[in-house]
Chains A and B, each alone.
Chain A
Amino acid sequence: MSQGTLHPITHVLRVAVSAFGDMGFDIVDAPEVDTAWYNFDSLRMPEDHPARLGQDSFWLKDGRLLRTQTTNMQLHATEQKRPPIRVMHFGPCYRNDATDITHDVIFTQLDCLAIDEGITLANLLSTLETFIIRLFGTDVKYRFRPHNFPFTEPSVEVDIWHNGKWIELLGAGMVHPEVLKNMQIDPSKYSGFAFGIGIDRIAMFKWGVEDVRQLHMNKLSFLRQFKAPV
């Protein structure tokens, strides 16, 4: 029988997990069904934050929700480990939004978190650069762009140049001091960085997948194209 295929998300995850594993990031677990504290409040997204409005998240009847970001791992991880911390977590996330060729209700993210004495913005930028080059090669054209997230300060987005335009690849930043406090970590002693990567997005522009929803439609005519050479 001929060789089967891995799912495209699996291919991308293997590369990303290897890259961050080589940089010393340990894989940790976090639930997909979680409470608002881990997914929102602990990350400085209070009840009146726009991302928390009912229609954007899948709330369960028991009051919990399907996580909207793998960043929910941060507080779970720091309940288990104390600094120095260097961890990653990945898996599906869910948003109850309208879908189109670049948005689906399910998407895969990978989050990293590093906390130690003396972690700097320069460490973050270097870690991101190492990953980008590992994924796209040394010819890749990329840029850092200031951004704003509730749980990081400063916040950064990374764009890569693809088909004649800049495309947003990931969001990153230095862990916000209030988030560190929520982790029971003293921000005057420790600092840290964190970032989250959209894995589906990478599949889209790495291979030119034209509609992100194809990743979960499971047409074999689609899936069978992702045959890795033996």
Chain B
Amino acid sequence: MKYLYSWLKEFYPNIPSLDSIESILADIGHDSEGIVPANYEGISVAEISAVGNHPNADTLSLVTVKTTSGEREVVCGAPDLKVGQKVAYAAIGTTLPSGMKIQKAKIRGVESSGMLCAADELGLSHNHATLLPLPDSAEVGHSIKSYIEPDAVISLEITPNRGDVLSHFGLARDIAAKTESITLQPNFLTPEYTGKTEEIVRIDSIHSDVNSFSLAGASTEAERYHTPLLMQSRLTLLGARSINLATDITNYVLLEYGQPLHAYNQELLSSNPVFGVRRAHDGETFTGLNGMTYNLTPQSLVIVNNDSPVALAGVLGGDATKVGDTARNIVFESANFNSRQIAKTVRGLGILTDSAQRFSRGVDPNLRLQALAHALALWQKTTKGKAYEPIEKINHSPTPVKTSFTAESASTFIGTQLTEERISTILTALGCEININEIEIEVMPPTWRFDLSLVEDYYEELARLVGLNNLNMTPLSASVPQWKRSKFWREEAVKDTLVNLGANEISTYPFIKETELAHLNLVPEPMELVVPALAEKPLMRPTLIPGTLLTISTNPEIPQIYLFEMAKVYHPDREVETLCISASGNNLADIDNWWKNIFERLRLPVASWMTRIISLPDEVRNDYKIRKLNVTVLELPAEEILSLKQFESPQVMATDLDAIHYSPVAKHQSSRRDIAIVVEKTHSIDDITQVMTQFHPFIIAVELFDTYTDTKLGDDNYSLAFHVFYQSPDKTLTGEEVQSIHSSLENFLKEHYHATIR
């Protein structure tokens, strides 16, 4: 959730400074996903150089201000303006935090070039009576940022157990409990009631998964009214949109106290409205405020007006009773729903709204009436309208569960000594009721904490508020190292043997397609995924060979490749740790030697093991687009090698990680051009390959993919075909750039090797 620092500070004036807030929040378990300082772009310091009367309005002044780009005349409604006063000036084109864009406009017949800002217009405080105060020393033209208290939008990851901090008040309360061991109290406004809601609307039956359901009417005679600027600014800064007063109030109270509210347009409800909450009927449809229509099932609860759905309970209001900009009669709803029920609706319909998020984590059941009154008060204050005394139905009242433990048991579990006094101070600050008797500490959680019931839950709170980074650390009792002979270290010893012979260890994805098995003449019954990562690869590998082939295919620029992988293959009844070793390239003699080396090193009979190597046929190589002439593979259960005598007491070193130096692989695409030449056989393939590789720094690899001799070429000549790979470390080369190097390579071979380009 996003929080505005200045709003937190309104609840908790002693809040730690913006500089230190990140670490304090982390300390109490609220991990920051970013803190973005308010920048007030386009709003700079200006100095009043003259104040005159507006010809057409007594309450407005004509103010001349000095800015860095000359003097500007601005119409302003603030009182007590003085020449020399420093003011926050928003130039034409500036967008204020409320989303309002400053345009050149005539105000009561006089043109105003910009605007002088009050604190509420900048999202800073409720003050609209005077302009934002700036010190006399403020320099004209500088951003106002340097002269006002810094503000920022703080994005936090709130863990699922802490629904109680999904509001500005809730988070401020948690911070105050940590930093000063105090329990913050809310500042709810109360309206002046001038009527009774039951004269407007009634509540019929509410479903048992609804804890409580409250409604209150509100009205106004005002033809036009606007959302207060601070409310607009805060909503906009926190990523909500200012829509209309009633809707804005519901969103504002949600962000302020965490109580979801909904506003119905009373004029769009049927006459004699009777509200209720029931399960949706199968096949019932509902169109939400978001314009989407949902097909409901009895899994969801709906709020009905004369049995017709007007809202998806706890989740989304309905389009049919939407509040418009000029609505004069509103019904506000404040309810408390069973959190599991709301989570079910969210899952069933796939919509997660701000309300649903709060309800599915649990909302303080004691908030509903205070938040409703607060909303009515905000309405009344802004519209000078009426507020009607709420009505409500209650199914369940919360019954917090008492738990008890001793200071000693808590201290033992945490491993740090805590006194009864310390425990009592911490838990009291969190809003718990504490009763210390002779035997133990009895604790009752506050109504807003749904996550406190087990003793371990309280131990967590104690550790959290003392600070995990302040607790004792005690090593485990000494114990005999267990590891030297385990299967893992035998595997590692086998890997070391292969690495010493030049092989590279790979790690491949376990998903394959059916045709990959057909090629290998394998007909096991592989296990199939319901929803695969890649649609064409729905099977779990019963062999490591496809992954190896894919790896050879992904590295065409490397002429000889030696690989191994030790990983599981999957069968319906078992998983088998498997070793797959491969050698591929054009030089068959090298490959044969390599295999012989391996078997010798493993002290295995070479002749019989050589027969176990599979040489893959052309059609398989072609299928994987492998141009190398020889691809040889040996796959076997790892145990067959691990059980060899020489791995009984493996001697393996843990790597010194810092001795490995990695530099990012070029992110730029390589390009391939092919070249076929006829040259005299006196020029060896190795020589030509090397010369070509060194011809230009952008040539990163040269790979022979075909040779042939023919009497037509002349008995002393042969034809060689190469892939040439081009890549620049700085950019992806264009086709022309590649072609230009490639052409000069051709010329070079013609001139120096008397090659014929085919």
- The chain A residues found within 8 Å of chain B, CB to CB, are 1-7, 9-12, 14-15, 17-18, 21-27, 31-33, 48, 50, 53-55, 58-62, 66, 86, 91-92, 96, 105-106, 114, 118-123, 125-127, 129-130, 135, 137, 143-148, 153-157, 159, 166, 168, 174, 176-177, 191, 206-210, 214-229
Is there contact, CB below 8 Å, between B483 and A21?
yes
Answer yes or no: B533 CB below 8 A from chain A CBs: yes
Contacts A3-B499, A4-B500, A6-B499; A123 near B661 (Cβ below 8 A): no
If the complex has contacts A62-B572, A120-B414, A156-B468, are A126 and B473 also in contact, measured as CB distance less than 8 A?
Answer: yes
Chain B residues closer than 8 Å to A222, beta-carbon distance: 665
Nearest-Cβ distance from residue A45 to partner chain B, whole angstroms: 11
The answer, among B554, B656, B657, for a CB contact under 8 Å with A218, is B554
Closest beta carbon of chain A to B616's beta carbon, Å: 18
- The answer to whether B476 and A146 touch across the interface, beta carbons within 8 angstroms, is no
Instruction: Flag whether B436 is at the interface (Cβ < 8 A).
Output: no
* Also in contact, A106 and B660, with CB within 8 A (given A32-B575, A145-B29, A219-B554): no
Once A24-B481, A155-B460 are accepted as A-B contacts, the answer to whether A6 and B495 lie under 8 Å apart by CB is yes
9 contacts between A and B (CB under 8 A): A1-B501, A3-B500, A15-B655, A50-B160, A61-B529, A96-B531, A121-B414, A125-B415, A145-B26
Q: Which B residues are in CB contact (< 8 Å) with A10? A: 492, 495, 505
- A225 to B662, Cβ gap below 8 A? yes
Let me know if A122 and B474 touch, CB within 8 A: yes
Contact A9 B413 (CB under 8 A): no
Q: Is the C-beta of B471 less than 8 angstroms from some C-beta in chain A?
A: yes
A11–B655 contact, CB under 8 A?
yes
New contact pairs (17) apart from A24-B476, A114-B476, CB-CB < 8 Å: A6-B499, A10-B495, A10-B505, A11-B660, A58-B530, A86-B482, A122-B472, A130-B475, A137-B658, A146-B463, A146-B464, A147-B159, A174-B413, A207-B660, A223-B505, A225-B662, A225-B665
Inside 8 A of B572's CB, which chain A residues have their CB?
62
> Which residues of B have CB within 8 Å of A7?
505-507
Q: Is the CB of A5 within 8 A of B476?
A: no
With both beta carbons as reference points, the residue of chain B lying nearest to A157 in the complex is identified as B31
Report the bound CA distance from A227 to B509 in whole Å.
22
Q: Which residue of B lies closest to A91 (CB)?
A: B568
**A15 contact from B416, B551, B654, B664, Cβ within 8 A:** B654
Residues of A within 8 A of B488 (CB): 17, 27
Closest to B663 in A: A225
Q: Chain B's nearest CB lies how many Å from the CB of A188?
A: 10
Smallest beta-carbon distance B60→chain A, Å: 49
Number of A-B contacts (CB under 8 A): 263
Of chain A, the residue at the smallest CB distance from B28 is A146
A69 and B467 CA atoms in complex are apart in Å by 28
A209 neighbours in B (Cβ, 8 Å): 662
- Does B394 touch A at the CB level, under 8 Å? no
Alpha-carbon distance A144/B594, docked complex (angstroms): 50
Contact B656 A215 (CB under 8 A): no
Does B304 touch A at the CB level, under 8 Å?
no
Interface string of B477-489 (1 = CB under 8 A from A): 0111111101110
Given contacts A60-B527, A105-B509, contact A33 B575 (CB under 8 A): yes
Whether a CB of chain A sits under 8 angstroms from the CB of B110 is no
Which of B99-107, B206-214, B555-563 interfaces with chain A? B555-563
Q: Say how far A191's CB is from chain B's closest CB, in angstroms.
A: 7
Q: Closest chain B residue to A202 by CB distance?
A: B657
Q: Which residue of B lies closest to A5 (CB)?
A: B504
Give the distance to chain A from B19, nearest Cβ to Cβ, in Å: 15
Interface residues of B in 657-694 (CB under 8 A from A): 657-666
Residues of A within 8 A of B474 (CB): 120, 122-123, 126
Instruction: Name the CB-closest residue of A to B530.
Output: A59
The one of A14, A55, A125, A154 in contact with B531, judged by C-beta atoms closer than 8 angstroms, is A55
Contact, CB under 8 Å: A154 / B530: no
Q: Are B504 and A224 in contact (CB under 8 A)?
A: yes
Given contacts A122-B471, A123-B474, contact A96 B456 (CB under 8 A): no
Provided the pairs A2-B502, A58-B529, A220-B561 are in contact, do residues A121 and B26 lie with their beta carbons within 8 angstroms? Answer: no
